[in-house]
Amino acid sequence: MNEHHVLERCRLTFFLAIFGLLLGCSQLVYSQQDQKVVILNHADSLVGMEIDGEPAQQLIGNVKFTQGRVVVTCAKAIRYLRSKKITMEGEVEVLDSTMRMVSHRGVYHSEERVVEALDRVLLEDGMTTLHAGYGKYFVDEKKAQFTRNVLVQDTASVLTAHELIYFREDQRSIATGNVIILQPENNLTISGNHFEHLRKQKYSKMTDQPRLMQIDTAADGTIDTLTVTSMVMESHSDSLERLVATDSVQMIRNGLAAEAGLCVFYTDLDSIVLQKNPFIWYTTERNEDNQVSGDSIFIKLKKRKLETVYVRRRATAISRADSLCPDRFNQMTGEEIIMHFAYDKIQQIDVDKTATSLYYLFDEGKPNGLNKTTGDHVTITFLDGRIDKIKVLAGVEGQYFPEKMVKGRESEYNLEGFNWREERPGKRRVVSMQESVGSKQ
Which helix (DSSP H) or strand (DSSP E) does residue 427 occupy?
helix 427-440
The mean per-residue pLDDT over the stretch 206-223 comes to 81
Give the pLDDT score at 32: 44
CA–CA gap between residue 121 and residue 131 (Å, rounded): 6
Q: How far is Cα 51 from Cα 390, in angstroms, rounded to an integer?
A: 93
pLDDT at residue 253 in the model: 81
CB 367 within 8 A of CB 321: no
Which residue from 177, 231, 174 is spatially nearest to 197, judged by alpha carbons?
Answer: 174
Q: Which of 138-147, 223-232, 285-294 has the lowest mean pLDDT?
A: 285-294
Classified as helix, coil or strand, 353 is strand
Q: What is the torsional sign of CA 285, 291, 294, 296?
A: positive
Side-chain-side CA neighbours of 166 within 13 Å: the count stands at 26
Domains of the chain: 39-152 (2.60.450.10), 240-440 (2.60.450.10)
**Average of per-residue pLDDT across 260-269:** 87
DSSP SS3 for 240: coil
Contacts of 324 (CB under 8 A, 6+ apart): none
Query: Under the phi-then-psi rule, with left for phi > 0, alpha for psi from -120 to 50, and beta for the rest, what region is 93?
Result: beta
Averaged confidence pLDDT in the chain = 83
Q: Specify which residues 349 forms β-bridges with.
A: 339, 380
Q: Is pLDDT at 56 greater than 70 in this prediction?
A: yes
Quick check: 246 and 231 in contact, CB under 8 A? yes
* 360-378 mean pLDDT: 89
Query: Is 429's pLDDT higher than 80?
Result: no
- Summarize pLDDT for 382-417 with one digit per residue, the tens: 887 677 788 888 767 889 999 999 999 999 999 988
pLDDT mean over 108-120: 92
Cα–Cα distance measured from residue 144 to residue 218, given in angstroms and rounded to the nearest whole number: 42
Q: What pLDDT shows up at residue 1? A: 52
pLDDT of residue 440: 41
User: Percent of the chain scored above 90 by pLDDT?
Assistant: 50
pTM of the model: 0.77
Q: Taking every pair of C-alpha atoms in the chain, what is the biggest distance, in angstroms?
A: 129
CA distances from 179 to 41, 136, 185, 194, 440 (A): 41, 20, 19, 7, 9
pLDDT at 441: 40
